[in-house]
């Protein structure tokens, strides 16, 4: 049976307009005002916005850190995603040392298959680089992996600058793109040792061990490496004023530099680390939370188009039993916070409703830009005839308060506890099937793997 969504306002990155949408067999087949079909199911969206399904291109589900595992796996994490209006996620298939990329990809397929409630794909995180790994790029491309990640920090994950350069050169053949975690790993290691030597073992030492220039230096270095390789690049979870200044300078010089930030860097600041108990551990993630001036600069960058996407870097660990692993040594606190469920409501309330960005910009940052950058457009990220019928009917008036007690995420806290919101995903459709009705999941585990093409930017 076909479905007609009537009376809603379709949001695109360039304009919003009133229209009906007809969907059948997983795709959008018609967009017109006053659609009529006596055999179609009618969904009333009067007064609501119609967004293309949101895409979170930065999640870490079912991640083994070596001594613990994230609280959310693909089953719980994607359920949290879909209830918030996120219909597609891109997780990081991470190559273990000594492992092939194909082995890493199989591992992640096994984690996600038959349990995901939204559609899913993978970036390939490369932690070891040699000629044999280079040869695997062709098979990765054939499997729909067209984006990759490298780390400049974390001794167990990071690559040297020469390897990053050669990866960039190798990816050009496949029109792939490399996202990098930009922090100077040597400085981070040194600053951690300094803090511990001075007796600073609490979470308040975490941001001191990773000051702004640790990020901006690495961003500058990556930009320079990319210039030598003559390659476009992606910078993940940018958090600092100095970092975005490096990006702006590179763009003005003609480089293709794409940037992601996250809600935590727009809404939370480093004062949350300073308290007399262990509560600050909730906010231990890398890069760390920054200062209010950084937050303001990032909002300005969003409004001016210097930031392309907003992901979450969802990497959830319970405060009790997981974060407490580092109760006597902040460097042993597992890094990461939850956020996949609340990203859309936070950006709508504190971005759109507060006048910092428009609803059209929100559509780009959470949907269309993501789909284009990561090879999913126009199948995903847009409401047009022929696209997947991934649709969010957004109730602009629904009020709420974020709390760990009413979240779907499988974690014992939320960093946004008590945040008031106006606006919410009322109904959600995944490839034409309604999966969320009146804010509740009615169809689980129906997500499919997204075999992606090359970047479209």
380 within domain boundaries: no
Please tell me the total number of residues recorded for the chain in this structure. 457
452 within domain boundaries: no
Q: Residue 240 in 3-state DSSP?
A: coil
262 within domain boundaries: yes
390 within domain boundaries: no
Of 428, 389, 384, 449, residue with least CA distance to 27: 389
Alpha carbon separation from 259 to 168, 180, 220, 453 (Å, rounded): 17, 10, 13, 20
- Please list the ranges in the chain whose pLDDT falls under 70: none
CA dihedral 179, 184, 188, 189 (to 10 degrees): 100
Indicate the burial class of 130 (C-beta count within 10 angstroms; 0-12, 13-18, 19 or more): exposed
- Residue 371: its pLDDT value, please? 98
267 within domain boundaries: yes
- Residue 275: its pLDDT value, please? 73
396-404 contacts, C-beta under 8 A, 24 or more apart: 396/47, 396/48, 396/49, 396/422, 396/423, 397/47, 397/422, 397/423, 398/422, 398/423, 398/424, 398/426, 398/439, 400/345, 400/424, 402/342, 402/345, 402/346
- Residue 119: its pLDDT value, please? 98
CATH number, domain at 62? Answer: 3.20.20.140
What's the total number of domains in the chain? 1
231 within domain boundaries: yes
- Residue 143: its pLDDT value, please? 98
Task: Give this prediction's pTM.
Answer: 0.98
351 in Cβ contact with 359 (< 8 Å): no
Domain extent, residue 290, equals: 54-373
147 within domain boundaries: yes
422 within domain boundaries: no
């Amino acid at each position: 049976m076909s479905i007609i969504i009537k009376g809603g306002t379709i949001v695109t990155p360039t304009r919003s307009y009133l229209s009906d949408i007809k969907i059948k067999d997983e795709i959008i087949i018609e967009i017109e005002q006053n659609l009529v079909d006596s055999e179609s199911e009618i969904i009333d969206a009067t007064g609501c916005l119609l967004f293309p399904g949101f895409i979170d291109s930065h999640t870490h589900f079912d991640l083994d850190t070596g001594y613990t595992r994230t609280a959310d796996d693909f089953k719980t994490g994607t359920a949290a995603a879909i209830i918030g209006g996120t219909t597609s996620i891109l997780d990081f298939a991470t190559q273990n040392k000594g492992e092939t990329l194909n082995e890493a990809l199989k591992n992640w397929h096994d984690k996600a298959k038959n349990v995901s409630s939204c559609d899913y794909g993978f970036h390939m995180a490369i932690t070891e680089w040699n000629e044999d790994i280079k040869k695997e790029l062709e098979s990765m491309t054939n499997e729909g992996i067209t984006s990759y990640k490298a780390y400049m920090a974390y001794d167990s994950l990071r690559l040297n600058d020469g390897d990053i350069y050669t990866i960039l050169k190798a990816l050009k053949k496949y029109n792939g793109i490399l996202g990098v975690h930009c922090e100077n790993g040597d400085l981070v290691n040194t600053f951690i040792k300094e803090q511990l030597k001075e007796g600073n073992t609490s979470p308040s030492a975490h941001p001191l061990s990773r000051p702004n220039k640790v990020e901006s230096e690495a961003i500058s270095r990556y930009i320079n490496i990319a210039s030598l390789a003559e390659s476009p690049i992606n910078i993940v979870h940018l958090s600092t004023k100095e970092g975005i200044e490096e990006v702006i300078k590179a763009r003005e010089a003609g480089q293709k530099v794409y940037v992601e930030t996250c809600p935590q860097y727009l809404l939370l600041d480093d004062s949350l680390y300073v308290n007399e108990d262990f509560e600050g551990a909730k906010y231990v993630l890398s890069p760390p939370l920054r200062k209010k001036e950084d937050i303001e600069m990032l909002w300005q960058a969003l409004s001016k188009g210097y930031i392309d996407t907003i992901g979450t870097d969802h990497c959830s660990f319970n405060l009790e039993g997981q974060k407490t692993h580092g109760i006597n040594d902040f460097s042993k606190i597992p890094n990461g916070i939850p956020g996949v469920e609340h990203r859309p409501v936070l950006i709508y309330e504190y971005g759109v409703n507060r006048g910092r960005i428009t609803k059209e910009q929100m559509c780009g940052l959470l949907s269309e830009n993501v789909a284009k950058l990561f090879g999913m457009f126009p199948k995903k990220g847009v409401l047009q005839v022929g696209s997947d019928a991934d649709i969010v009917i957004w109730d602009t008036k629904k009020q709420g308060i974020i709390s760990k007690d009413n979240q779907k995420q499988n974690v014992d806290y939320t960093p946004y506890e008590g945040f008031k919101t106006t606006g919410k995903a009322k109904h959600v459709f995944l490839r034409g099937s309604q999966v969320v009705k009146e804010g509740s999941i009615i169809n689980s585990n129906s997500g499919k793997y997204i075999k992606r093409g090359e970047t479209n930017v």
